[in-house]
């Protein structure tokens, strides 16, 4: 039974996809609830309040996936989660409209002093002159970060007769034209706009984007909005610029530390604020909860998630196409690990034909996951495979070749270390299945599944008979058998498959036979 913890007051109605699925138990609570055994939780759903730190991850050894019911993942230690093979998914567009609408409402409220005037009337006052505001019409709005929310804000601003200048280093001229905004440099946005609204994620690059220096480049009387993340606008610098009358006012939905406590900005009359409400609408909360619940339910069905932060994005169609190669790559990783049961320092995957047309980095990660499966104690998957390889000093290479060795595709794995090299080649034949077509330079042809024995031996009369006798004495039935050799009388290999696991003492007996070089048992 998979255990899901939905924290941060996730809208329960949105959890329906998980509640409806057999084999899943959903707990509503928090990571601090005494009644919840964190050790057993497989999936965690959070909003922005729960901080998914390495300390929390230490307390959740079964955790496999974190669902962020929203956009920003700055409350999640992505590097730590990735190291541990934990997938992170978010709900990128479920709260776009709500946040854009909230930003627009904040902008209107800021320009017309609505919160201050409201409080004054409630206080028994009637100060019509004190609260004279400014029109939005004809003003220039500067948007920093024209992603989903920034774009929706731009559309609304244009509908209100504002012109819009945008700074976003990743934005194309075509997209700016479609949205009717003017693509500008950061300096132009600072110097030429009346209101500046930030809509970037909080990253190393965006932290303190508006600071003592850049605020000095803004127009005197500028208004600032932050409905993205606390810290994009330096709070101390902002308070300073408001106090000295350079910035006319600010609307803030977010703070560096939430709740902000006794904060200098809260003491300023021209600062209006909400408690991180951008995404807090019934509609957005239903959207984001449903989106992450669907993702987690898909994950438990062993299908690809659509919006992972630390896995490549893949549509259902692409996933279906890549799936057989993914399986083959993983099995080849296991085969190489078992057949070449030695230390390795380099692993190279070479793809050809139809395999080379796919997301090969995903296949290489699957290969590594298979390779490490029986070698190390840590669970290895596509999320942490590269990290684990690096940590263990294994160089991972990836190549594409035009030579398919007569097949429609091949995946060739070369493992090297201590002066020795082992190579395996496999192919996927449509409507037929995966085949291993070469092992350590020997041509062979077998289906990689079940219980296998890989035997290296000398090509001498009687060897196969002796192996058959030991198996017969143990009443072990051979399902399939393939042999390969490079030249008569030289080294040769056998790959045998069985319907059930093999007794250890029988494998030991086989090892002691004359002309047997090595024997490796492989379970796929
Ligand atoms: N107040 C609230 O409740 C909410 C806040 N947010 C915040 O808003 C942010 C934006 O959300 P979306 O628009 O959905 O994300 P998005 O990913 O669609 O847009 C972000 C944009 O920022 C741009 N960008 C990145 N680095 C930049 C830089 N250094 N300078 C200028 N532009 C840069 C990107 O190119 C992208 O276009 C989220 O990361 C989140 O932190 C999101 C939802 C609700
Ligand atoms: O989606 C986001 O990035 C948000 O900031 C919304 O945060 P929340 O889920 O309301 O705590």
Task: Name the residue ranges covered by the structural domains of the chain.
Answer: 2-94+283-301, 95-273, 313-449, 451-523
C-alpha 341: how far from its chain's center? Answer: 32
Residues touching ligand 2 (Cβ under 6 Å) are 47-48, 69-72, 95, 276, 278-280
* Nearest ligand 1 atom, CA 150: 13
Residues touching ligand 1 (Cβ under 6 Å) are 70-72, 92, 95-96, 99, 144-150, 167-170, 199-202, 205-206, 227-229, 253-254, 276, 278-279
Instruction: State which fold the 313-449 domain adopts.
Output: 60s Ribosomal Protein L30; Chain: A; (3.30.1330)
Alpha carbons 163 and 294: distance in angstroms, whole number: 39
* 2-94+283-301 and 95-273 agree in CATH topology: yes
* Nearest ligand 2 atom, CA 73: 3
Alpha carbons 52 and 78: distance in angstroms, whole number: 9
Q: Whose CA is nearest to atom 9 of ligand 2?
A: 47
Identify the pLDDT of residue 245: 98
* Nearest ligand 1 atom, CA 205: 29
Q: Ligand 1 centroid to 211 CA: how many Å?
A: 18
Alpha carbons 156 and 105: distance in angstroms, whole number: 11
Q: Ligand 2 centroid to 228 CA: how many Å?
A: 9
Ligand sitting nearest the alpha carbon of 287: 2
Identify the pLDDT of residue 474: 92
**Which among 147, 207, 209, 252 is the best mutation to test ligand 1's pocket, defined by most ligand atoms within 8 Å of the CB?**
147
Residue carrying structure tokens 């090892």 = 511
Among 3.40.1190.10, 3.40.50.1370, 3.90.550.10, 3.40.50.720, what is the CATH number of 95-273? 3.40.50.720
Alpha carbons 194 and 87: distance in angstroms, whole number: 42
Given 276, 425, 447, 457, the catalytic residue: 276
Alpha carbons 511 and 455: distance in angstroms, whole number: 9
Alpha carbons 357 and 359: distance in angstroms, whole number: 7
Alpha carbons 219 and 165: distance in angstroms, whole number: 14
Partners of 411 in the beta sheet?
351, 426
Contact (CB, 8 A) for 483 and 492: yes
Closest residue by Cα to residue 232 from 186, 269, 270, 290: 186
Strand order in the sheet with 395-401: 395-401, 346-353, 409-417, 420-429, 433-439, 442-446
Identify the pLDDT of residue 320: 87
Instruction: State which fold the 451-523 domain adopts.
Output: Alpha-Beta Plaits (3.30.70)
Alpha carbons 26 and 45: distance in angstroms, whole number: 10
pLDDT averaged over consecutive 10-residue blocks of the chain (524 residues)? Answer: 97 96 96 96 97 98 97 95 94 96 98 98 98 98 97 98 95 92 97 98 95 98 98 98 98 98 97 98 98 96 88 81 95 95 94 96 96 89 93 95 96 95 97 96 94 94 93 93 88 93 91 93 92
Q: Whose CA is nearest to atom 11 of ligand 2?
A: 48
Cβ-based neighbour number of residue 88 at 10 Å? 22
Identify the pLDDT of residue 23: 95
Q: Ligand 1 centroid to 201 CA: how many Å?
A: 4
Q: Ligand 1 centroid to 391 CA: how many Å?
A: 32
Contacting residues for 299 by C-beta, under 8 A, at least 6 apart: 43, 64, 65, 87, 89, 305
Given 177, 205, 258, 391, the catalytic residue: 258
The C-alpha torsion from 242 through 245 and 251 to 257, rounded to 10°, is 0
* Nearest ligand 1 atom, CA 277: 3
Check if 156 is active-site: no
Identify the pLDDT of residue 285: 98
Check if 258 is active-site: yes
* Domain covering 2-94+283-301 assigned CATH 3.40.50.2000 in the classification: no
Q: Is the peptide bond before 280 cis (omega within 30 degrees of 0)?
A: no
Contact (CB, 8 A) for 77 and 37: no
Ligand sitting nearest the alpha carbon of 103: 1
Identify the pLDDT of residue 315: 78
Ligand sitting nearest the alpha carbon of 289: 2
């Amino acid at each position: 039974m998979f255990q899901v913890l939905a924290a941060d007051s996730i809208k329960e109605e949105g959890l329906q996809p998980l509640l409806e699925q057999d084999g899943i138990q959903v707990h509503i609570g928090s990571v601090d609830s005494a009644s919840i055994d964190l050790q057993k939780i497989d999936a965690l759903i959070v909003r922005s309040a729960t901080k998914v730190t390495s300390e929390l991850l230490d307390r959740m050894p079964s955790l496999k996936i974190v669902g962020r019911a929203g956009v920003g993942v700055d409350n999640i230690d992505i590097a730590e989660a990735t190291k541990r093979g934990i997938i992170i998914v978010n709900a990128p567009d479920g709260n776009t409209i709500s946040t854009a609408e909230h930003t627009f409402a904040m902008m209107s409220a800021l320009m017309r002093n609505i919160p201050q005037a409201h409080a004054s009337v409630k206080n028994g006052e009637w100060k019509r002159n004190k609260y004279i505001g400014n029109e939005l019409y004809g003003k220039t709005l500067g948007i920093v970060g024209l992603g989903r929310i920034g774009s929706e804000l731009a559309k609304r601003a244009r509908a209100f007769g504002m012109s819009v200048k945008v700074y976003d280093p990743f934005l194309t001229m075509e997209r700016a034209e479609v949205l009717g905004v003017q693509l500008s440099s950061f300096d132009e946005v600072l110097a030429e706009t009346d209101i500046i609204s930030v809509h970037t994620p909080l990253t190393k690059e965006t932290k303190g984007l508006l600071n003592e220096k850049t605020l000095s480049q803004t127009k005197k009387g500028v208004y600032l909005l932050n409905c993205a993340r606390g810290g994009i606008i330096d709070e101390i610098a902002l308070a300073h610029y408001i106090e000295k009358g350079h910035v006319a006012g600010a609307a803030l939905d977010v703070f560096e530390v939430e709740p902000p406590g006794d904060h200098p900005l809260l003491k300023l009359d021209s600062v209006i604020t909400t408690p991180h409400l951008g995404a807090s609408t019934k509609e957005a909360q239903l959207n984001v909860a449903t989106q992450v619940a669907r993702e987690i339910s898909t994950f438990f069905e062993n299908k690809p998630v659509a919006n992972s932060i630390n896995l490549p994005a893949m549509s259902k169609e692409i996933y279906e196409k890549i799936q057989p190669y993914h399986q083959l790559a993983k099995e080849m990783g296991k085969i190489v690990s078992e057949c070449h049961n030695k230390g390795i320092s380099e692993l190279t995957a070479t793809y050809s034909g139809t395999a080379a047309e796919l997301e090969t980095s995903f296949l290489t990660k699957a290969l590594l996951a298979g390779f490490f499966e029986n070698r190390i104690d840590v669970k290895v998957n596509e999320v942490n495979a590269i990290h684990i390889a690096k940590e263990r000093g294994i160089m991972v290479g990836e190549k594409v070749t035009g030579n398919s060795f007569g097949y429609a595709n091949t995946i060739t794995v070369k493992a090297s270390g201590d002066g020795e090299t082992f190579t395996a080649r496999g192919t996927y034949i449509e409507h037929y299945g995966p085949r291993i077509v070469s092992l350590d330079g020997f041509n062979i042809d077998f289906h990689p599944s079940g219980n296998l024995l890989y035997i290296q031996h000398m090509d001498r009369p009687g060897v196969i008979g002796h192996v058959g006798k030991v198996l017969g004495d143990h009443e072990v039935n051979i399902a399939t058998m393939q042999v390969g050799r490079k030249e008569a009388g030289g080294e040769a290999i056998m790959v045998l498959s069985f319907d059930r696991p093999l007794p250890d003492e029988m494998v030991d007996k086989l090892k002691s036979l004359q002309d047997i070089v090595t024997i490796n048992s492989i379970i796929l």
